[in-house]
Structures are given as C-alpha cells and as structure tokens.
Amino acid sequence: MNTTRRAALGGIASAAIISTAHAQTGPIRIGYSISRTGPNAGGANVTTLPNYQLWVRTVNEAGGLRVPGGARRQIEVVEYDDRSQSEEAVRNVDRLINQDRVDFVLPPWGTGLNLAVGAVLNRGGHPHLAVTSVTERIPELVQRWPNAFFFLGRSSAASEALVTTLQGLQRGQGLGNTVALASVQDQFGIELVNAGRAALNRAGFRIVMDRQYPLGQQDLAPLLAEAARANPEIFIAFSYPPDTLAITEQARIANFNPRVFYTAVGTAFPLFRQRFAANAEGVMGIGGVDISSPRIRDYVARHTQVVGRPPDGWASPVTYASLEVLEQAIAQVGTDRAALIRAIGSGTFDTIVGSIRMENNQRIAQPWVGQWQGENFVAVGGAGTLTPVQFPKPAWRPA
C-alpha cells in the first residue's frame, strides 16, 4: 500500500473516531412537528409546545440530559409547523427521522395527529409518547405499535369516570337523570361520545338530546337552543378548545343553566378562567389536577415564570411528566431507542404527577373529571387526590 493510500485511510479512520465521539458527547437532537397554525394551534400552544420549551430549558440549564456514566448532553431542537394537517404532520415526522436524523421525535398535539404519525414513528423505531391522544383503540394500537405509550388513556375511562361522578351527585345531592349530549365530529369527539353514550345508558341516565357538530363550527347557538328546550339536568359537550369557548359563551347568552355543565378539551385552559371569570365557577371538564401537591405547585410556578402564563389543568402537567419519563429512561439506558422503548414500557418513573408505571403501554390511574373552583381547575373525579364537587353549578352572571 502506498503512503498516500495509507494516509487517506488513516484520515478516514480518524474522522470516524471523531464522529463517534461527537455522537456520544455532542448534543442530543430532539425534533417535533407541532400545530403552530390552524384549528389545533390553540391546544398545541397551550398544552404541548410550552412544556417542550420549559423542559428543554430546564434540562439544558441543569447541564443537559444525563446519560449512563454521569455525563450530560445538551438538547438541540428541530421544529416544524404541521398546520393542524395530518398529511403535513406525517411529512414532517418522516423528514425529522430520515433527513434531519434526530435522536428522538416528540409527538404532535391531538388524538388525530398522534394516530396519523404513529406508523411513521413505529417504522423509525422511535418511542412515541402519545400524551394528547385519548382513544379506545389503545389495546389494538399497542399491538401494532409497541413503541407507543398512551399517557391519558382510553375514551371509556374518561366517560366512565364522568358517569361515576354524576352517579355520586345523584346519590348525595339529588341530581336528576336527564342529559343533553353534544360532540365535535373529530376522532376525539366521536370516540368520547360513543363511550359516553354507552356509559350513560348503562347507568340509567336518560339522553334527551344527542347532537354532533363539525370541527371548527363556531355558531353553536341553535344547538344550545335545542338543549335548553330539552331542559336537562346535565349538559355534556365532548368538545375541542374553540368550540368549548363558543359553547360556554353561547350557553351564558342563552341563559341555559343546567345543574351540571361539562365541556371537554379547553375547559382546563387558563384562558377559560380568564375569559369567563366568575362564570367559570362550577363548570366541569376533562382533566383536573391535585393542586395540594407541592410538585404541582412548583411546576405551575416554573411554567408561569418561563412561559409567561400558568399551564392548563389537565394535559399540561402530564405532557411535562412524559418528558420526565423520557429523561429518566435516557439516564438509565442512554440514547439507544430500542432500549429506551423497553425501559419506558417496564420501568417506574417519579414525575410531577406522581409515580408512572405503564400497564400494557398505557397510564391507567389518573384524574379524569375536573371543575373550576376559584382560581384552580381541581380534580373531582377519577383516581388520585380528589376535591368534592361544587354542586349545582352557579347560574350564569351577566358578562
């Protein structure tokens, strides 16, 4: 072999050694596709994106992600806007995996987009921390995608916890059994109302109205007028953030005052309390937190300081907790994705929402029903530390 050839091979070998060393000590690249624009932007920019930003800042200020052996590696972020479109989310995630070659991909916001990108994340071998995805298909999906972990659980769990809470009010507070149902025509709304309808029927409630409306519809006054004519004791809307706000405002304008008023995603947002002030009092919704927890109080304070506003009272802390799970798993096994998937599926993790241990890739025990009481959206139904329900909801006050 001539001298030039040996030098060239020596240079290649040196470059390979440097590259390997950098891969083990350089930044850990984390990417995500998020709804910066479009109808999902409200939810994504309240629940998901702020917690990604808070976590990255917290970890990097502490020196980076800890890896086995005690070293720390900074996080480098690659972000794309999916414009609330499933096709765009799929393209973005594919690009993150196959072109940007990120180490990990964090999930988008919403049930529909999480289901859309699930196959791509599975093919790429990335752990899928499917937080903002409530679906009845979890047992089927984890068979197909063993890399996917569902932190909010199944639609039936949400519906059954709500019905159990209503039954408690029947026994202890004299709540009647008539229910008006409304639901958004989206994966989330369809699954929740199907599970909710079945749970209500099994429990002996009488459904006096059952209506669906298109995603993005804002004029819901006719639906509220129909609900008012049915004069139910309970109103339940399996809604997304824009329609949650519209339904609540239009119910107030129409002076529609059922004894229980429940709206779904967005009820727990700080914006809800800011928008409706005293009229938020007693409104129930999906989620809820244990505000007595010191770790939750610390998280709320840090989120408020860094993001400029408090987190929501449902999926925000769970999103942050899912990142704590990822962080602790990386500290245990490093950045090997297959090892991480095994670690997340079998480990127990200490988080701001308490101990998390997956059961068949899903988190089971958690609060499911929350209610605005004063300044806080507190847990009143489901598992964990619960606050007594304020009943009945106070009548709407003039704006």
Q: What is the CA radius of gyration of the chain?
A: 23
Q: Whole-angstrom Cα distance, residue 320 to residue 55?
A: 7
Angle at 315 between CA 297 and CA 150, to 5 degrees: 125
Global pTM value? 0.86
Q: Whole-angstrom Cα distance, residue 206 to residue 177?
A: 6
Cα of 54 vs its chain's centroid, Å: 16
When pLDDT is cut at 50, 70 and 90, the band that residue 23 belongs to is: low
Cα of 24 vs its chain's centroid, Å: 32
Residue 15: pLDDT above 50?
no
Q: Same CATH topology for 23-154+294-366 and 156-292+368-382?
A: yes
CB contact at 8 A, 44 and 83: no
Which architecture characterizes domain 23-154+294-366 according to CATH? 3-Layer(aba) Sandwich (3.40)
Whether a cis peptide bond, with omega within 30° of 0, leads into 232 is no
CB contact at 8 A, 96 and 78: yes
| pLDDT tens digit sequence for 227-286 | 999 999 999 999 988 999 999 999 999 999 999 999 999 999 999 999 999 999 999 999
The whole-number pLDDT of residue 24 equals 65
CATH topology of domain 156-292+368-382: Rossmann fold (3.40.50)
Q: Whole-angstrom Cα distance, residue 210 to residue 320?
A: 35
Residue 73: pLDDT above 50?
yes
Q: pLDDT above 90 covers what percent of the chain?
A: 87
| pLDDT tens digit sequence for 112-121 | 999 999 999 9
192-198 long-range Cβ contacts below 8 angstroms, 24+ apart? 192/134, 192/155, 192/158, 192/159, 192/238, 192/264, 193/238, 194/136, 194/155, 195/136, 195/154, 195/155, 195/156, 195/158, 195/159, 195/160, 196/158, 196/159, 196/162, 196/163, 196/236, 196/238, 198/156, 198/159
| pLDDT tens digit sequence for 144-189 | 999 999 999 898 999 999 999 999 999 999 999 999 999 999 888 8
Q: Whole-angstrom Cα distance, residue 130 to residue 354?
A: 18
**Spans of all domains in the chain:** 23-154+294-366, 156-292+368-382
